[in-house]
């Protein structure tokens, strides 16, 4: 219901010319944060994080961006900001977090076709290991158990079951930290083990594939070593872990100006300082909004783009029109980060 109302608001703004007006006066740099583009049919139990957008929709986005905006690479945009120069109006940077294989299979061919640059942020610690959220999704989807009882919760898994099983488990596992592996092992035993089928919407890219992506002209950055918030790690470890993450990128991909996207967008003054000390070029958050020369380089704003963004909603986000609305209606949908 809410999305119907929102769609009405976007159409209203578009028709009233307010969007075109906001676009005309927009001076900020928009940075978009995608996670994946999928060519797979919609799955009943999968994609519940609403992160991977269908290929056709991504093409709508690219059509909008190339027609009404100016796509630039992150390095170019950051270079302009640090030089104190003015970015050209309606500049847009596209980024992808987590390093899903579908960047290579579904996003990159379309980016190349439209001539749009992008930066991909990858985990430098164990790049090919699936994220626990995806392992959990696969376990639940493939399970033949009608119901299980785990640590006091009664759950109905499987694609025909209750989708809240995934939501409940994701919430509980997110809080576990280092104990999460043990919990995943318990769940795997209860749900029945599943063979690891290749899946570009869940597998992460290997270094060989990342070199291929770099050779095609795309920038690669760090999403830290592992997908855990920097703000919840022991303070004294963060600096060393980030420095090592940048060194791994240099070793695997060669010397370059590497940017950092904070896992889950989570940052605080300590994490920002550590990112700067580790010689990253900038730090990207998932706080919505546009950037200009006054935005701190280690707290650049990005807009998360997920399954709910059709082209008109994306245009609304890019235009800066959000700032024209009362603060109460500015709440944005939160995706995985």
What the block records as the tokens of 22 is: 């906001």
d(CA 53, CA 142): 22
What the block records as the tokens of 202 is: 């869940």
97 binds Zn ion (CB under 5 A): yes
d(CA 58, CA 55): 5
Please report how close the Cβ of residue 229 comes to Zn ion at its closest, in angstroms: 10
Please report how close the Cβ of residue 6 comes to Zn ion at its closest, in angstroms: 25
Burial class, 258, CB count within 10 angstroms (exposed 0-12 / middle 13-18 / buried 19+): buried
Closer CB to Zn ion, 123 or 213, in the complex: 123
Longest Cα–Cα distance of the chain, Å, equals 60
Question: Can you say how many angstroms the Cα of residue 327 is from the centroid of all Cα atoms in its chain?
Answer: 24
Neighbours of 65 (CB within 10 A): 22
What the block records as the tokens of 284 is: 């990207």
Closer CB to Zn ion, 261 or 272, in the complex: 261
d(CA 14, CA 20): 7
Please report how close the Cβ of residue 99 comes to Zn ion at its closest, in angstroms: 9
Q: What would the DSSP string read from start to end of 76-133?
A: HHHHHHHTTPPPPTTEEEEEEETTBTHIIIIIHHHHHHHT---EEEE-SSSTTSPPHH
Number of residues that bind Zn ion (CB under 5 A): 2
Closest residue to Zn ion using C-beta atoms: 97
d(CA 230, CA 267): 7
134 binds Zn ion (CB under 5 A): no
Only segment of 93-101, 200-208, 236-244, 299-307 that touches Zn ion (CB under 5 A) = 93-101
Closer CB to Zn ion, 98 or 209, in the complex: 98
Closer CB to Zn ion, 98 or 137, in the complex: 98
Please report how close the Cβ of residue 89 comes to Zn ion at its closest, in angstroms: 30
12's CB contacts (< 8 A; 6+ apart) are none
Closer CB to Zn ion, 98 or 141, in the complex: 98
Please report how close the Cβ of residue 35 comes to Zn ion at its closest, in angstroms: 7
Closer CB to Zn ion, 97 or 219, in the complex: 97
* 190-209: contacts with Zn ion (CB under 5 A): none
Only segment of 95-103, 137-145, 178-186, 325-333 that touches Zn ion (CB under 5 A) = 95-103
Please report how close the Cβ of residue 241 comes to Zn ion at its closest, in angstroms: 16
C-alpha atoms less than 13 angstroms from C-alpha of 302 in its C-beta half-sphere: 34
Please report how close the Cβ of residue 204 comes to Zn ion at its closest, in angstroms: 11
**The only residue of 75, 98, 191, 314 in contact with Zn ion, by rule CB under 5 A:** 98
Closer CB to Zn ion, 158 or 263, in the complex: 263
Only segment of 68-76, 90-98, 229-237, 241-249 that touches Zn ion (CB under 5 A) = 90-98
Closer CB to Zn ion, 71 or 99, in the complex: 99
Which chain residues interact with Zn ion by CB under 5 A? 97-98
């Amino acid at each position: 219901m809410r999305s119907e109302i929102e769609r009405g608001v976007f159409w209203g703004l578009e028709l009233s010319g307010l969007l075109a007006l906001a676009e005309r006066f927009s001076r900020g740099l928009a940075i978009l944060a995608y996670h994946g583009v999928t060519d797979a049919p919609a799955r009943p139990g999968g994609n519940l994080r609403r992160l991977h957008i269908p290929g056709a929709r991504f093409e709508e986005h690219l059509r909008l961006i190339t027609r009404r905006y100016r796509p630039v690479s992150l390095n170019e945009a950051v270079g302009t900001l640090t030089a104190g120069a003015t970015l050209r109006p309606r500049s847009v940077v596209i980024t992808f977090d987590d390093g899903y294989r579908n960047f290579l299979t579904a996003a990159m061919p379309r980016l190349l076709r439209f001539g749009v640059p992008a930066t991909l942020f990858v985990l430098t610690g164990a790049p090919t290991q699936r994220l626990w959220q995806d392992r959990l999704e696969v376990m639940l989807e493939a399970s033949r158990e009608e119901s299980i009882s785990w640590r006091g919760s009664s759950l109905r898994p499987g694609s025909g079951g209750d989708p809240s099983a995934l939501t409940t488990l994701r919430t509980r596992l997110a809080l576990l930290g280092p104990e999460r592996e043990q919990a995943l092992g318990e769940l795997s035993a209860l749900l029945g083990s599943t063979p690891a089928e290749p899946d570009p919407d869940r597998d992460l890219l290997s270094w060989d594939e990342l070199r291929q992506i770099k050779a095609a002209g795309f920038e690669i950055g760090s999403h830290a070593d592992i997908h855990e918030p920097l703000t919840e790690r022991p303070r004294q470890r963060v600096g060393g872990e980030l420095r090592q993450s940048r060194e791994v990128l240099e070793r695997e991909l060669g010397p370059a100006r590497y940017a950092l996207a904070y896992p889950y967008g989570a940052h605080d003054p300590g994490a920002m300082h550590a990112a700067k000390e580790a010689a990253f070029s900038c730090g990207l958050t998932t706080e919505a909004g546009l950037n200009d020369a006054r935005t701190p380089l280690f707290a650049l704003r990005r807009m998360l783009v997920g399954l709910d963004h059709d082209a008109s909603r994306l245009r609304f986000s890019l235009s800066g029109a959000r700032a024209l609305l009362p603060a109460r209606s500015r709440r944005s949908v939160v995706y995985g980060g």
